[in-house]
Amino acid sequence: MSSEGRVRKRLTSRTASLVAIVIAVLWTTPTFGLLISSFRPELEIKTNGWWNFFGDPQVTMANYEEVLLNQGLLSYFINSLVITIPSVLFPVAFSAMAAYALAWTRFRGRDWIFIGIFALQIVPLQMALIPMLQMLSPVQEALIWPYPTATVWLAHTCFALPLGIFLLHNFISELPGDVIEAARVDGASHARIFRQVVLPLIVPALASFGIFQFLWVWNDLLVGLVFAGGGPDNAPLTVRLAEMAGSRGQEWQRLTAGAFVSIVVPLIVFLSLQRYFVRGLLAGSVKG
């Protein structure tokens, strides 16, 4: 029996399933509690725990009404999309090209460059915030674009590249060399090989990195706050959510419903792309 088969068998045994179910329940309980809370009246939320709901069920839509109708979430929702879509496409495109170059073109110091990029993952994002802001301030002024959104794209792209290049490099370097050799013998340039041979083969990896990046950018507060600011023109949904509790946190019951509103988009993205996700994760790692 191959090692893959053994792993598969062990992971599908009854005990393993039971453990998985227990973990899943434990993991979901807080989210479930939040969901229950989001339908409870304000005073109940603030004075006792969500499990009291089962003894004394009081259902209200007040939290959702408040969040959706009175808090102007729509414009922040659009801001989040405007920030997230390019911040996913840019790093996916750049890291795919960089990963191809590092895996299949030969030049001096190639491995050192790769190690350098890989090592950059260790640098905490927080350390780079102020220097990045200083660097990007003149960039923003030079652009005709009057909003700082472009700098948010740049910032997210920069922070995503090390991991993206690393992930895609592993994937691309696993591609069979024969295929690429054959294309080269037929006279294809690197650009053409990348476009017509490599890209179609790495779609699952691109998708899984894309999902990672999407979830990260959509849920990001720090980068958005620092580079986009908090105004209704630019700020993403997370920034609005953080403010929604009020100056002194007195309205925190709104966060319960707000959290669920902001979860909707990542859920749709994840569920609709999950088959790529699983394939992308497995394809690079499991060998026969």
The answer to whether 235 and 176 are in contact (CB under 8 A) is: no
Could you tell me the two tokens for 214? 């999407």
Count interface residues toward other proteins (CB under 8 A). 40
Could you give the string, one character per residue 94-133, with x where binding to other proteins holds by CB under 8 A and - elsewhere?
-----------------------------------xx-xx
Minimum CB distance to other proteins smaller for 86 or for 284: 86
**According to the binding rule CB under 8 A, does residue 243 interact with other proteins?**
yes
Tell which phi-psi region holds residue 220, choosing left (phi > 0), alpha (psi between -120 and 50) or beta: beta
Q: Count Cα atoms within 13 angstroms, Cβ side, for 171.
A: 29
Could you tell me the two tokens for 258? 């707000």
Task: Give the nearest distance from C-beta 215 to other proteins in angstroms.
Answer: 18
In one-letter notation, the amino acid at residue 5 is G
Task: Give the nearest distance from C-beta 226 to other proteins in angstroms.
Answer: 6
**According to the binding rule CB under 8 A, does residue 77 interact with other proteins?**
no
CA-to-CA distance for 147 and 228, rounded, in angstroms?
Answer: 8
Minimum CB distance to other proteins smaller for 85 or for 179: 85
Task: Give the nearest distance from C-beta 187 to other proteins in angstroms.
Answer: 20
CA-to-CA distance for 188 and 77, rounded, in angstroms?
Answer: 44
Task: Give the nearest distance from C-beta 25 to other proteins in angstroms.
Answer: 26
CA-to-CA distance for 26 and 264, rounded, in angstroms?
Answer: 21
Write b or e for each residue in 232-245: b if 16 or more Cβ atoms lie within 10 A of its Cβ, otherwise e. Answer: eebbbbbbbbeebe
Residues 6+ apart with CB under 8 A from 189: none
Task: Give the nearest distance from C-beta 222 to other proteins in angstroms.
Answer: 9
**According to the binding rule CB under 8 A, does residue 89 interact with other proteins?**
yes
Could you give the string, one character per residue 190-229, with x where binding to other proteins holds by CB under 8 A and - elsewhere?
------x--xx--x---------------------xx--x
Contact pick of 107, 127, 250, 288 for other proteins (by CB under 8 A):
250
**According to the binding rule CB under 8 A, does residue 47 interact with other proteins?**
yes
- Cα dihedral 117, 121, 125, 129, rounded to 10, equals -10
Minimum CB distance to other proteins smaller for 5 or for 246: 246
Minimum CB distance to other proteins smaller for 69 or for 85: 85
CA-to-CA distance for 185 and 177, rounded, in angstroms?
Answer: 12
Could you tell me the two tokens for 138? 């003149």
The answer to whether 186 and 119 are in contact (CB under 8 A) is: no
Contact pick of 38, 63, 86, 104 for other proteins (by CB under 8 A):
86
* Nearest Cα residue to 254 out of 243, 239, 244, 264: 244
**According to the binding rule CB under 8 A, does residue 259 interact with other proteins?**
no
Task: Give the nearest distance from C-beta 217 to other proteins in angstroms.
Answer: 14
Q: Give the interface segment with other proteins, choosing from 100-108, 138-146, 159-167, 177-185 (CB under 8 A).
A: 138-146
Binding site residues, other proteins, CB under 8 A:
42-43, 46-47, 82, 85-86, 89, 129-130, 132-134, 137, 144-147, 196, 199-200, 203, 225-226, 229-231, 233, 239, 242-252
